[in-house]
Structure 1
């Protein structure tokens, strides 16, 4: 409610919201522009044959299936972000720059990510247009058409990344996350149609109603679980004491919030992207007989005909746990928190300051993160399980859990930012009702 009042009252806030929305709409318009010289129906066949690539199509807002100028969208930037994050594990200097308190260091990492994303976009675009071009992607297969199409897709991916960074720096929310969420939102309509054709069409009228209601309730449950996951946290009580000038001790209570899912959408995006990349590479090289990669292909999971490949889901769960703990390790340091508590005369009731506080925070964090990572993996994998049980090959249903986690996470993050920006509206409303001063 305060957000709508702020839109009406605050011209600058309204301007930022409108420009942010305008940029997102502009990107969606680009996604509807077809690429010159390509067979627009070509990639739809590949996506039907390999449901694992459906995740990439979802991230591009169906730009990949329609082969628009935004066929790659922000996926190269996401891949570049993963590579930079992993480099931070190997090289401490990069890790320090990623989470430095100095803006210049963080800007350097961001610029490096965008540049790396550009080179990845060009590499992917060249590979796709050259390899798939021979198989029917290009209407006319010549070296210059391969280059033209690759440059168009590279430009589209670069524009999306730069505009995302521009939104983050100047307007509202995380631009890359907003573009990603907008892409996923735009695919919901076509995904719903695909799910209807796969699961409901052909049934009796009563069956359609019952099955449709069941699917709707299932989606609603997934959304509710995801919202609960994003909102849940455990508060650790802290007591601060301070001596006054007359020798008395003043105390006040506070909390250290431990979020159930501090990484928000990062673990599932990174995990799904890493799982999809080898499958895309095999598709590019046209070597479909690779046995190991069937474990990464989600279309083989939880099926009665190929049960052994369900072991690939364990790799998925392991990666979700890894990125959940890794992301939290670099954003929440128990040693640093314990040291800050000691310096500010704060204690956790029943826990000694210093090393004991550090160990307590590590233990609590490990417990909370394990639950959060398990819940993330459960929501992401549940549609895969249902897909396998029903014996369908709908990528729209398979990646529904991942899509919901991403959209709910981005909406939650953006609403938090909007609420913080409209705090002034709360005080204005209070002053109008009660006056600036109360007796």
Structure 2
């Protein structure tokens, strides 16, 4: 059977499962709603000048990528889903600092619902603050047709309402669609900017005798990056487990071997998303400072995407969130306790504390590899584009997010297919 025939069989399998088919259709409809909103601009803004500024500024272009082009039009979805991500980061950090929040998270469904509700409230607050910042920046840049209190009130209300609506869309996709709604919205925004980013890069290089070799080199690098990311995202470190006793698929108490699958990149794409959002905040704050502020020009230079200081800080934050998110996702003590209660042991490792230490050591080594890999993929394209004298219209950050979210979504589809006795995509 050829690859295309195999793919067609999977598609027929998707069509034959009513629940999966309805989930995919629902997700696509929500995608349509999210894209339509990016083309509805807020009133009272010089859109043409703003679009020109966005095309010439790497930071604004990066923000525009996360909003799917909504920022350059200051549409109703100009803030995107970023305030919700910021709120999620806040509660993730608070859960480590404040034990009470961590206890609430462990209460099960009711605890998670309570945290989600608080996250929504914080999202609204952050959206209002960011809306105020956007209005102040638009006014100071001379992009507002009739500046004043009325403009501020209307624009802040529109931008906040747009973020709240996108937050609802993301939650609806997670519940009634397929995949993680927030991640899929970011995925949608990034891929929607892909064609225009490629066109901008080609236009910038018009007249250069190296345009064809450079474009070929970039295409090859992108293909290799995608291939390596897929291999790394699907890679596992299998820890062997030895079970003894009945009730574990054994006969007559005979021992059976199994394994604990540890993903090489347990945290997925979340560290890159978190780090990208975190690096936007100081860049925007610094650029909003008065020109007379001491050392402003140096700070603006250091937090430019092309500067080595920015790249180093970006890589360090990715590494930090890789460990942070892995610690949330994987609890060695809980795994060791479950093994002990189930009669499972890791060969050569005693149950209890020794198992916990062994698992912590393995996860730490894996996380170092995954964190460094994510950081390298995220910053290398920026360094290459800078060396070639090209603006960073697209790069490792977008590739990691797109590939990672696509793989997670395909695996969820695969799980539905397996449940209905269809062979999965992967």
Task: Give the alignment's TM-score, normalised by structure 1.
Answer: 0.88
Q: Is the 8 A contact 2:10 2:423 kept in 1?
A: no
Paired residue total: 411
Q: Do structure 1's residue 254 and structure 2's residue 261 form an aligned pair?
A: no
The Cα shift of 1:197 comes to: 2.2
2:129 corresponds, among 123, 142, 153, to 123
Alignment partner, residue 407 of structure 1: 402
Relative to structure 2, which stretch is displaced further, 290-299 or 20-29? 290-299
The Cα shift of 1:162 comes to: 0.9
Q: Do structure 1's residue 96 and structure 2's residue 93 form an aligned pair?
A: no
How far apart, in 1, do the equivalents of 2:392 and 2:214 lie? Answer: 19
Q: Residues 427, 16 of structure 1: CA spacing in aligned structure 2 closer, same or farther, 3 A cutoff?
A: closer
1:228 corresponds, among 231, 234, 247, to 231
Q: Is the 8 A contact 2:91 2:119 kept in 1?
A: yes
Secondary structure of 2:376's aligned partner: helix
How far apart, in 2, do the equivalents of 1:243 and 1:277 lie? Answer: 56
Q: Is the 8 A contact 1:238 1:349 kept in 2?
A: yes
Spell out the pairing of 1:144-163 with structure 2 (5 A cutoff). Answer: 144-163=150-169
1:201 corresponds, among 186, 189, 206, to 206
Secondary structure of 2:47's aligned partner: coil
The Cα shift of 1:55 comes to: 2.5
Spell out the pairing of 1:1-40 with structure 2 (5 A cutoff). Answer: 1=7, 3-40=10-47
Alignment partner, residue 268 of structure 1: 272
Q: Is the 8 A contact 2:26 2:176 kept in 1?
A: no
Structure 2, gaps ≥5 residues long: 1-6
Q: CA RMSD in A?
A: 2.1
Task: Give the alignment's TM-score, normalised by structure 2.
Answer: 0.91
Spell out the pairing of 1:167-206 with structure 2 (5 A cutoff). Answer: 167-198=173-204, 200-204=205-209
The Cα shift of 1:12 comes to: 2.8
Q: Is the 8 A contact 2:127 2:159 kept in 1?
A: yes
How far apart, in 1, do the equivalents of 2:273 and 2:96 lie? Answer: 18
State the Cα deviation string for residues 152-186 of structure 1 (Å, max 9, x = none). Answer: 11111111011111111222211111111001110
1:133 corresponds, among 129, 133, 139, to 139
Relative to structure 2, which stretch is displaced further, 285-294 or 165-174? 285-294
Q: Is the 8 A contact 2:241 2:346 kept in 1?
A: yes
State the Cα deviation string for residues 380-410 of structure 1 (Å, max 9, x = none). Answer: 0111111222233x1304xx10001111111
How far apart, in 2, do the equivalents of 1:175 and 1:243 lie? Answer: 41
How far apart, in 2, do the equivalents of 1:209 and 1:128 lie? Answer: 39
